Amino acid sequence: MPVSDLRSGNCPLCDHHEVVEARPGEFGDGSREVGAAVAYEPRWVLGGRNPEYPYGHLSVCFCRACGYTQWFTAEPDKVPIGDEYETRLIEGKRKGPAFR
């Protein structure tokens, strides 16, 4: 059975009817805020990942009563896969059409 989506406004755990959506941020040098994302473009010169070029911005939804939380990725089909992005694809057995 699929997990209920908090974005419906109802909590699947406690059946509360208030859900909050938020966009988490990450803070780097100089306390500059960057929106949290799944992956970032690799840097050409310094190595590592470049926070200026994110893929798959993250949002979080949580129930105001029990705190149950779900994370969601924007444009998941556009997140690149590869070691340079620190992502990898895990494929399971197909059981039917994708749940959305």
20-76 pLDDT per residue, tens = 999 998 776 666 777 899 999 998 777 778 878 899 999 999 999 999 999 999 999
* Residue 60 identity: V
- Structure confidence at residue 97 (pLDDT): 73
Task: Supply the pLDDT for residue 1.
Answer: 40
Confirm whether 58 is domain-assigned: yes
pLDDT for the residue 35: 83
Tell me whether residue 98 is in a domain: no
Number of domains in the chain: 1
pLDDT value of position 61: 97
Structure confidence at residue 82 (pLDDT): 94
**Ranges assigned E (strand) in 1-100:** 19-22, 25-27, 33-35, 37-42, 49-63, 69-73
Q: Which domain holds residue 29?
A: 6-85
Whether pLDDT at 81 is above 90 = yes
SS3 category, 70: strand
CB hemisphere CA count around 91 (13 angstroms): 2
Confidence bin at 99 (pLDDT 50/70/90): low
Residue 93 placed within a domain: no
